[in-house]
Amino acid sequence: MSERKFARGLGKPGTAAQLRETVSQVVKENTVLVSRRQK
């Protein structure tokens, strides 16, 4: 579902930067969760 939303918004200016920021944020959160689980 979220992939469709991203594809639809790719034509808008500034979306790529926003998308990149969102992805990096999600990756950071996932990294924190994974490292907590391993301890």
pLDDT mean over 11-28: 83
Measured CA to CA, the distance from residue 39 to residue 24 in angstroms comes to 23
Q: Are 30 and 17 in contact (CB under 8 A)?
A: no
Measured CA to CA, the distance from residue 6 to residue 11 in angstroms comes to 10
% of residues, the chain, pLDDT over 90: 23
Give me the amino acid identity at 34: V
pLDDT mean over 5-33: 79
pLDDT mean over 1-13: 60
Is 0.95 topped by the overall pTM? Answer: no
Measured CA to CA, the distance from residue 11 to residue 29 in angstroms comes to 27
Q: Which range marks the domain in which residue 28 is found?
A: 2-38
Domain count, the chain: 1
